[in-house]
Structures are given as structure tokens and as C-alpha cells.
């Protein structure tokens, strides 16, 4: 997690694009507080392959990253 006093980056949307933005941003720097607002109660998942859920994939199989990934990177989810 970034120390207090660092700038805060707010991401609105926790879909595939929001997740990829966070991933790319974290690859560049961690000198900020990252806050993500999503409409759904679960973390980002692969909506493109959502129909595969009905073919036997689990909800966890479709996650872009597990909830722990957000915690490990100090990302605050709302």
C-alpha cells in the first residue's frame, strides 16, 4: 500500500478495462493510493467468456485476478 500523503488514483469501473488499467499502472509505479469503484459486488471477471460459465467453468475461473491480488497491491475496493 502507498504511504499516506501520496496522491490517490480513483478508478471508476472494475471490469476488464478497469482491472487492466490497475495492472498497467502498478507496473509503472506504486507511489499512490489506488481506489477502485465497481458496480458489482465481485472483483473483475472475464465478461467476454461469461457464456463458458454455463459450460462448466466456475465463477472463479472467470476472475481476472483473485480478491487477494487487490489486497496484495493495496487497492481499496468499493
**Nearest by Cα to 59 from 45, 72, 69, 40:** 45
In Å, what is the CA distance from 9 to each residue of 47, 57, 59? Answer: 24, 33, 28
The Cα 22–Cα 14 span in angstroms is: 9
In Å, what is the CA distance from 29 to each residue of 25, 52, 58? Answer: 6, 35, 33
pLDDT, position 2: 55
Per-residue pLDDT of the chain (78 residues; tens, 9 = 90+): 555 688 999 999 999 999 999 999 999 998 999 999 999 888 988 887 878 778 888 888 888 999 999 999 999 999
Q: Which pTM was predicted?
A: 0.80
pLDDT, position 3: 57
**Domains along the sequence of the chain with CATH:** 8-77 (3.50.50.60)
Amino acid at each position: 500500500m502507498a504511504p499516506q500523503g501520496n496522491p490517490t488514483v480513483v478508478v471508476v469501473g472494475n471490469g476488464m478495462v478497469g482491472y487492466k488499467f490497475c495492472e498497467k499502472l502498478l507496473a509503472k509505479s506504486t507511489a499512490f493510493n489506488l481506489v477502485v469503484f465497481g458496480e458489482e459486488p465481485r472483483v473483475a471477471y472475464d465478461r467476454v467468456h461469461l457464456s463458458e460459465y454455463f459450460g462448466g467453468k466456475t465463477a472463479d475461473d472467470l476472475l481476472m485476478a483473485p480478491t487477494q491480488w487487490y489486497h496484495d497491491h493495496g487497492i481499496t475496493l468499493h
